[in-house]
Amino acid sequence: MTVFARVPSLLSRVVGATLVAAAFSAMPACGTGLRRGAVPPGTAQPDQYLYDKGMAALKDKKWLTAREYFTQINDSYAQSALRPDAMLAIGDTDLGQGTSEALVFAINEFEEFLSYYPTNPRADYAQYKLALAHVRQMRNPERDQTETREAIDALEKFVTRYPQSTLMPEVKTTLREAHDRLSTSDYLVGFFYFRNKWYPGAVERFVAILRDDPDYTQRDGVYFYLAESMVQLKRGAEALTYYERLVKEFQQSEYLKDAKMRIVDLKAKAQAAQ
């Protein structure tokens, strides 16, 4: 698949950038007498030649140059054993380039690879890099979280499909980061409700975080403001449970001192009421 052939399947906003990149990469390499991406006459294994040249350019972060070599394999050597690796490498050049347009291209490349080669030994790599293309588009917690959800979906598919992959530790770390981003977004909504004294809304949001993401790394804040909201709603016994969970699960937290004071106070009130 050539650079130009990729354009129709993608968003119209990336067309201009693609045409510029294609025109630039088509220029001849100075001093070689060969167009960049061309194979010298008499080369015994032209696909291997192109792949090695592409990998060298990829290592040097020459994304456009590398992409041209890999694309040449894709277009001219359809039966080559290197073609699947070349498809993955095209996606890697897009990830390396890292612009919003390039990340759209990367998603397209890795999805196509998984469609064409679902049982390829490197399918796990393609699935992970597909997820990374979404991860790199995740927005700050206070912004829209569509890409975060896409990243989580792609990472969870990896965990389900490739349980024996050597990439699993890295995938799980990235998945935790994505879940934290989404939960922080929900936490900010809950805190907004708390700050504006809409305690039922705060409770609902905080409970949902603990239900959907029980391993959220910043759940100490969720415990604290959930308990604080419950105190305001005269649900002291339930609030006590969350203060105690905070103290039990976190040895260090900015909420720890206040949580311990609340526990003492709530227990004293409960005893006085008996």
User: Is residue 139 located within the same domain as residue 236?
Assistant: no
Domain membership of residue 124 as a residue range? 3-195
| 13 and 148 co-located in one domain | yes
Domain count, the chain: 2
Q: Examine the domain organization and report whether 177 and 237 are in the same domain.
A: no
Q: Are residue 122 and residue 246 in the same domain, yes or no?
A: no
Asked if the structure places residue 206 within a domain, the reply is: no
Residue 212 resides in a domain: no
- The verdict on residue 180 lying in a domain is yes
Q: Are residues 228 and 170 in the same domain?
A: no
Of 123, 103, 102, 105, nearest to 114 by C-alpha is 123
In a domain, 34, yes or no: yes
In a domain, 87, yes or no: yes
Q: What is the pLDDT of residues 37-91, one digit of tens each?
A: 578 887 889 999 999 999 999 999 999 999 999 999 999 998 999 999 999 999 9
The CATH number of the domain holding residue 43 is 1.25.40.10
Does one domain contain both 141 and 247?
Answer: no
- Say whether both 10 and 144 belong to one domain: yes
pLDDT at 44: 86
Is the domain of 226 the same as that of 179? no
> What's the pLDDT score for residue 35?
58
In this structure, the answer to whether residues 247 and 175 fall within a common structural domain is: no
Last residue of a domain, one of 180, 195, 210: 195
Whether residues 140 and 258 fall in one domain:
no
Residue ranges of the chain whose pLDDT lies below 70: 1-37
| Domain assignment present for 140 | yes
The pLDDT value recorded for residue 4 is 37
User: Are residues 48 and 95 both part of a single domain?
Assistant: yes
Q: Is residue 205 situated within a structural domain? A: no
Question: pTM to 2 decimals?
Answer: 0.82
Which pLDDT score, from 0 to 100, does residue 272 have? 86
Whether 112 and 58 share a structural domain: yes
